[in-house]
Structure 1
Amino acid sequence: MKPKQIPGIPLQKKGGFHDTESTKQYNSSEIDAKFNILKERFFSINRWKDYCGDASADFKHFDSSGNFVERIPVKGDFIRIAIPGPGTKEADGYDWVEIVNISHRDTKSYESYLMMCRPSKAPNRLRGYIAHFYSRAATSNMMISKEIDFLSVGIYGRNERPNFNARFLDKIRNFFIAFGGMFGAGKIQWKILAEGLLDFK
């Protein structure tokens, strides 16, 4: 299976990839109101785990200086991720990604928001290694979209390779987690997030 080619999402060149999507159908009369709920959830990073349950990773939102924030994300912010299992020694048990782009498309029949994240150092450390199990070349591209009668959440991983620019113990940890992620374990976590964001009950 080949990765989808979606405007704004990097092309797949090397390593693993995944396309993880969930959809929910609504009457056209209520689609705008439901999309507003989805937008609020999508941009409330600190609450993602609340929407997804105990099986989900925990996500926290930080600004470019490493301060915890409760607001709509902007380019240059960071997301701290606590995944189930061992964390990095580099960043006190966490993985970090930087929000490198946020884009919005709006036409008569389609609207979407895309947030692109890339593995990064912890924001409050001037020196050190990438604090993530994937290398800096990887991206996680999170998209919500609205069409005439359905909503969609998609997470698209591209160019996913283990991060070996790390301390020795983190190299071992990164290899095993990245290997598992490229063979489906990561897709399970992203599916939990996609489904959770669309569960308005």
Structure 2
Amino acid sequence: MRPKQIPGVPVQERGGFHDTESQKNVGEPNLLAQNFDVLKKRFFSINEWQQYSGEGSAEFKLYNSAGVPVEGAPEIGYFIRIDIPGPGESEAKGFDWVEIINISHHLSDHLEYFLITCRPSKIPGNVENNHIAHFYSSKATSTFMISKTDEQIKAAVYGRNESPNYDARFIDKIRNIFIAVGGMMGTAKIQWKTLSDGLLDFD
């Protein structure tokens, strides 16, 4: 299986990848628009993503470039601290970090979508630690997407160029290898599927 070619999603070059998508068909135009408005609010409320994913899922917290927690919408250059179930990166006190490198919006007659692309990063505001604080290397990206067509809304996560992060202390390298390989074999896709499904749960 090959990765989907999605405008705005980085090209897959090497390593693992995944295309994780959830969709909901809505035939009534007004309801479709209402649902997409709710989805947009959820999509840009990163601090609340865990509540849509459910118990036992990863926790997401938004930070600015100085490493200060922030509320509200994400911006390019902000960071997301991720607390995934299981052992974390010891130098990062059990957390994984990504930097938001792109936010984009597309609108045409029959399609509208929003994208947020992130890549593994150092800990913002920490000048003493130059290591990538994530189990994937800095070449990897995760692109979060929501979209609306005339009859369907979708939430998706696209992982590209996923390989273990060796830019870490020895014990963290071992941890990164195990988690990265597990993620490349499908465990990460399960986590992202709970998020994409949860974002579309309007009941």
TM-score of the aligned structures, taking structure 2 as reference length? 0.97
Equivalent residue, structure 2, for 1:171: 173
State the 4+ residue runs in structure 1 displaced beyond 6 angstroms: none
> What per-residue deviation string (whole Å, max 9, x for no partner) do you get for residues 86-116 of structure 1?
0001211000000000000001111000000
Equivalent residue, structure 1, for 2:96: 95
AA matched with 2:46:
I
> What per-residue deviation string (whole Å, max 9, x for no partner) do you get for residues 47-72 of structure 1?
11111111310111111111111111
Structure 1 CA distance for aligned equivalents of residues 23 and 96 of structure 2 = 28
Equivalent residue, structure 2, for 1:40: 41
Structure 1 CA distance for aligned equivalents of residues 75 and 130 of structure 2 = 24
Secondary structure of the corresponding residue to residue 75 of structure 1:
coil
Structure 2 CA distance for aligned equivalents of residues 162 and 140 of structure 1 = 14
Structure 2 CA distance for aligned equivalents of residues 62 and 187 of structure 1 = 24
AA matched with 1:175:
I
Q: 1:128: Cα distance to partner?
A: 2.1
Q: Is residue 20 from structure 1 mapped to residue 20 from structure 2 by the alignment? A: yes
Equivalent residue, structure 2, for 1:157: 159
Structure 2 CA distance for aligned equivalents of residues 33 and 108 of structure 1 = 18
Q: Is residue 117 from structure 1 mapped to residue 118 from structure 2 by the alignment? A: yes
> What per-residue deviation string (whole Å, max 9, x for no partner) do you get for residues 134-187 of structure 1?
000000000000000110011000000000010111000000000000000000
Stretch deviating more after TM superposition (107-116 or 123-132): 123-132
Structure 2: segments with no counterpart, 5+ residues: none
Secondary structure of the corresponding residue to residue 61 of structure 1:
strand
Q: 1:33: Cα distance to partner?
A: 1.2
Structure 1 CA distance for aligned equivalents of residues 57 and 200 of structure 2 = 15
In the alignment, is the contact (CA less than 8 A) between 1:90 and 1:128 conserved in 2?
no
Structure 2 CA distance for aligned equivalents of residues 187 and 92 of structure 1 = 24
TM-score of the aligned structures, taking structure 1 as reference length? 0.98
Structure 2 CA distance for aligned equivalents of residues 90 and 111 of structure 1 = 40
Equivalent residue, structure 2, for 1:59: 60
Structure 2 CA distance for aligned equivalents of residues 109 and 35 of structure 1 = 14
Equivalent residue, structure 2, for 1:182: 184
Secondary structure of the corresponding residue to residue 145 of structure 1:
strand
Structure 2 CA distance for aligned equivalents of residues 183 and 67 of structure 1 = 34
Structure 1 CA distance for aligned equivalents of residues 72 and 30 of structure 2 = 29
In the alignment, is the contact (CA less than 8 A) between 1:58 and 1:81 conserved in 2?
yes
AA matched with 1:18:
H
Structure 1: segments with no counterpart, 5+ residues: none
Secondary structure of the corresponding residue to residue 156 of structure 2:
strand
Secondary structure of the corresponding residue to residue 37 of structure 2:
helix
Structure 2 CA distance for aligned equivalents of residues 45 and 145 of structure 1 = 17
